[in-house]
Structure 1
């Protein structure tokens, strides 16, 4: 099996559960490595398309983990029973696709989610606030672009991660990343300021986006 890239290493670092599902696993590298490193005891892979499904089954068999990883055909969480897994990961897809899968999951949604959207992490953070999930950890990983990786946990009450932060900036760039002064987040904020400063004008959407980026930079420089 090939080694995990920085993106999947970041996802792997936020998984810790007895039973874990990887939705849209493709080559099965992530759940296989989770077993090898002792971060999960049992894994479930869900694949919709026949090609990735066959590849996942082949790789699980080659790893000798048929008794530890179950590979299932299906759409999203539909092959899972409620309460079957404690956490699930979705990675390498657009935020709209990801949120559609989560919205269709119903009672099969586990109490912990590790999500790596390829775009619009703000939409994922807004979804979490609306559905009773707290943002317990987040990371950025470098690759073709900068990938956000979020760990969400089902909890009651307001999410303390956002306390004291400018909300729009925290939703756009991540409350934990802003709070820690993450260098990749700082670079992302500065790149947005440079880009948006060229196109922002009164009444244009870029004006509001620039204000959010400037609020984030002010927080980072406090």
Structure 2
């Protein structure tokens, strides 16, 4: 049986998942659940898909992999097909941050204690939601691609998130507290590109000016950690 290949962003998601029971929300082709089971990263997986075409594709993928006993494909919207307390973790990948945040907010008590999220745009909304909802940032990746893809692992925890200690909050929310600490060329290129883009349009009193100052602060954090 062939092991499905994943692109770089989903490989990063895969590496951040360890659970007894995991759900992949909006699973599409169910390649991620198949890999999770094949690599022993989860004991059981639920692939959730709403749209008929991807739902049928997910069922075919699971059947071809002969993993029907370990992967259950469920039809539904977001976390609606899972029961409260059923999951240890869940992944939501390849959607906009606004869409992911909406799904998480609607999930209520169905939301598991660990989440691995890959928005297709800025993760700012995700990080803001996490701070409000009592989730801490435990791991972050930024994957180069058509644009930089953020990948976050969040875990439910009490109190203030230690990831934000000793880093400027606005810069950390925009670019990632752990990414700023770790540095690296992908996050540096993203910040520098933002500075160039905003530099031609920003003016005092405009939102773009605040964004530019946030990007400059983030770049200063990276530079300070290289000394």
TM-score category by the smaller chain? over 0.9
Tell me which residue corresponds to 1:65.
Answer: 67
TM-score (norm 2): 0.96
Unaligned 5+ runs, structure 2: none
Unaligned 5+ runs, structure 1: none
Aligned residues of 2:4 and 2:35 also touching (Cα < 8 A): no
Q: CA deviation at 1:182?
A: 2.5
2:40 alignment partner, SS class? coil
Tell me which residue corresponds to 1:154.
Answer: 156
Tell me which residue corresponds to 1:180.
Answer: 182
Tell me which residue corresponds to 2:137.
Answer: 135
Distance 2:192 2:121 in 1: 18
Tell me which residue corresponds to 2:124.
Answer: 122
Tell me which residue corresponds to 2:88.
Answer: 86
| Match among 20, 23, 30 for residue 22 of structure 2 | 20
Q: CA deviation at 1:85?
A: 1.2
User: What do you get for the CA RMSD once the two structures are aligned?
Assistant: 0.8
| Match among 33, 46, 53 for residue 35 of structure 2 | 33
Tell me which residue corresponds to 2:218.
Answer: 216
* Residues 1:54 and 2:43 aligned together: no
Distance 1:196 1:145 in 2: 17
Aligned residues of 2:194 and 2:215 also touching (Cα < 8 A): yes
Q: CA deviation at 1:143?
A: 1.8
Q: CA deviation at 1:201?
A: 1.2
Q: CA deviation at 1:2?
A: 4.0
1:18 alignment partner, SS class? strand
Distance 1:142 1:202 in 2: 32
Aligned pairs, how many?
222
Q: CA deviation at 1:106?
A: 0.9
- Large movers: runs of 4+ above 4 Å: none
